[in-house]
Chains A and B, each alone.
Chain A
Amino acid sequence: MDDKVILLVEDNADDEALTLRALKKNNIKNDVVVAHDGVEALDYLFATGAFADRKPHSMPQLVLLDLKLPRVDGLEVLRRLRADPRTHLLPVVILTSSKEERDLVNSYSLGANSYVRKPVDFGEFTEAIRQLGLYWLILNEAPPTKRTG
């Protein structure tokens, strides 16, 4: 079931590993698809490019989106998701190292559902991931999936 998939958009392998570890430590068993830049993320979501054979109408339950990404950056990915009817209700959590106010403001302006700054301390990071998972995967009611085609 793609419905329970988490899309992790992260270019840094360390952060990817740590995030996956944090998810695992919090017993979040959902499948995690990792996109390593903005283009990959968009290809996955819109079933294009390398993901052309993916069922396009099935959307991940949650997107964890880093801001600083090669090729297409996180804010641009967010902008395109919100501009497309298929994805404009998709829960997107910004997961980033930046605590710059303008990143925060831009993210929320473009329709991010949440903004989480990755703590350096792994304990705190794990806690943050736990709370994210609890809220977005268990407590939050996902928006109705828009079926197309």
Chain B
Amino acid sequence: MTLERTIQIGFAIAVAIIVAVGAAALRSTAATVESARWVARTLEIRGDLEATLADLIDAETGVRGYVITGDTTYLAPYDSAGARLDAHVAGLRVLTADNPAQLERLDSLATLVAARLERFHWTIDTRRSGGPSAAGRAVIGGGGKELMHLVRGVVSRMEDEEGRLLALRSAALQAKARLARFAAWGGALVALALAVIASALISRELAGRRRAELALGETQTRFRQMLASSTAVIYANAVSGPTFSPTWVSENVTRITGYGPDEPLQPTWWLDNLHPDDRERVLADMPALFAHDQLTTEYRFRSKDGTYHWVHDESRLLRDAAGTALEVVGAWVDITDRRQAEASLRASEERLRLLLGSVGDYAIYLLDPTGIVVSWNSGAEHIKGYRAEEIIGQHFSRFYTPEDVVAGKPQAALRAAADQGRFEEENWRIRKDGTRLWADMVISAVRDDRGTLVGFAKVTRDLTERKRAEDTLRRYAAALEASNAELNAFAYSVSHDLRTPLRGIAGFSEALLEDYADRLDDVGKDYLTRVRAASQRMATLIDDLLDLSRVTRSEMHIGPLDLSALASAIAADLTKRDSARRVEFAIAPGLNVQADPGLMRVALHNLIENAWKFTGRRSEARIEVGSVPHDGRSAYFVRDNGAGFDMTYVGKLFGAFQRLHGTQEFDGTGIGLATVQRIIQRHGGRVWAEGTVGAGATFYFTL
């Protein structure tokens, strides 16, 4: 039930109650008035009855006085009593007209009164006639006492009757009055309660309205603030035929464009600030607004400060029920930043496209999540042989060899890339022309911001040539290893087997010389001596060759090495071996290097021994070991003042079996320096020599 209905019903009930209360009050008043009337009548009746009795008694008293005295003055009350008693009876007859019982009693009373009066009259007559004694007897015996007694009885009964009636009526009237009071009080209470309820209802209703008004006000404020803080400018235009006139714009227009709040409401504001280059296009779109009731455009718009901003404008045409265009409402957002971001993204994409396009050595292309080729660069075209339009839309498994496809490798590769982010492989692939290429391939999973797989980036490099080169190299390495093994076997054989016959030759020559010296002449002995010497040289040669082979084959153990100490030890060894020589050694202290001690000993030994050998004919031989700066590092040298050499032949110096001196002049196999060079080269260093014939030689090496 609505509040209004409730209030109406409430009011109806209230009015009904008030009317009822009024009626009750009226009834109550009427009852009171009647009650008063009844009381008055009863009192009147009682008065008349009392007066009747009193008149009778006065008359009786007067009559007695007359009887006793004979004085007629005593008869005055009796004389007037008849008229008064008639008046009393007549009055009582009127008053009790509604009560037959009382009327009957009244008749009895009137009869009794008349009888009494009659007796008085007789008594008086008797007095007059009989004198006092007759009269006295008449009084005593006349029955007057009994008559009075009857009158009193009738009066009393009538009074009682009236009293009873009064009490009866009063009780009824009091009940009526109580009911009326009760109704009045009850009605007043109900009316009060209704008033209280109505007041509560109304105040509640009023409070509700106030709250609603407050909430509405708040919502409106919030709405305005939201509009003001929004980046979208909201506007409305009244439409009249083909012309628009601005009617409202959200207040953030000032913050966003810099124009005052009223400027946008100027009729030409919008058109005036539209970029001249965009004006024609935007205006050309306008019919579309009427055709589709909505329009989205983007254009440049001039701010108050004169700069142009890109604006995204979405408008909607509102019509009335009849379809007449009424109003255009829309929103308008500054998208300059987005435009710039888009432009720079386009530029960056273009750069990337150019970059990818220019990469010819790598096939770079994209696959969708199922492995369908979606992009193709020139490197891919170059390597795989397919043009972009031939291959885009095809599945990438066609690059795989049939056996790999059967083995499920393309799918496995995509799965691995999706699971681990990246998959790498080197394997054979098929070109468009059916030839195979050895490809180094990387597949990377491409995921969007939310981690959803959107495809794969695939980079493939053609390593066919390198693979071939590697295979060749591997074959060479295997061949080299085989030949090294052969060389080892050969060296072992040389070491053991070649020496054994030599020992026979040397040994039996010696045995001949010792056991058969008496049967040989000097020439024969000389020949045998030469045989011995030749075998000894050959033994040395074999040993030197083995050394050379060993420095090539042995494992390197690089560690710290004191070259000064090593040189000193070698010098001491040589000096001890040939104590007849006088050689001055000058060895610089503190030559610390990183090298293989065993190999370095062989190298340094060869160099110092060479110096020792080639200074053999000097009376004041001098051998110097030291270091000089060379190309930012240290070059170590062994210098002597011996026979020296001709720089013309310096290139032959380090070749095996190359000698610059005859064996008669200086003993040697021509392998020592070759060994030195091998050792230095194995250390990553370089060895070179400077010399002058007759003035000595210097051998330098770096490590």
**Residues of chain A whose beta carbon lies under 8 Å from any beta carbon of chain B:** 12, 14-15, 18, 21, 67-68, 96-101, 118-123, 125
Contact = CB atoms under 8 A, between A and B. Distances in A.
B238 to A, nearest CB: 109
A12 B501 CA distance: 9
A21 B511 contact: yes
A125 B503 contact: yes
Contacts of B509: 122
B contacts with A: majority SS? helix
Nearest to A96: B496
A121 B539 CA distance: 9
Q: Which 4 A-B pairs have the closest CB atoms?
A: A14-B504, A120-B539, A122-B510, A122-B507
B270 interface: no
A14 B497 contact: no
Interface in B438-495: 491-492, 495
A14 B510 contact: no
A67 B499 CA distance: 14
A97 B497 contact: yes
A67 B492 CA distance: 12
Contacts of B532: 121-122
Given A18-B504, A121-B506, A97 B499 contact: yes
Nearest to A11: B500
Contact of B508 (A14, A67, A68): A14
A120 B495 contact: no
B496 A68 contact: yes
B81 to A, nearest CB: 189
Contacts of A21: 507, 511
B5 to A, nearest CB: 122
A14 B501 contact: yes
B510 A99 contact: no
Contacts of B503: 14-15, 18, 97, 118-120, 122, 125
Contacts of A123: 510
B597 to A, nearest CB: 15
A67 B502 CA distance: 18
Contacts of B491: 100
15 contacts: A12-B500, A14-B501, A14-B503, A15-B500, A15-B504, A18-B507, A18-B508, A68-B497, A99-B543, A99-B546, A101-B550, A120-B499, A120-B502, A120-B506, A122-B511
Given A120-B502, A121-B539, 9 more contacts: A12-B500, A14-B500, A18-B507, A18-B508, A68-B496, A97-B503, A119-B503, A120-B538, A125-B503
A100 B495 contact: yes
Nearest to A22: B507
A96 B492 CA distance: 12
B496 A14 contact: no
Contacts of B501: 14
Contacts of A99: 495, 543, 546
A125 B507 contact: yes
B536 interface: yes
B495 A14 contact: no
B535 interface: yes
Given A120-B535, A121-B536, A98 B492 contact: yes
B421 to A, nearest CB: 51
B222 to A, nearest CB: 96
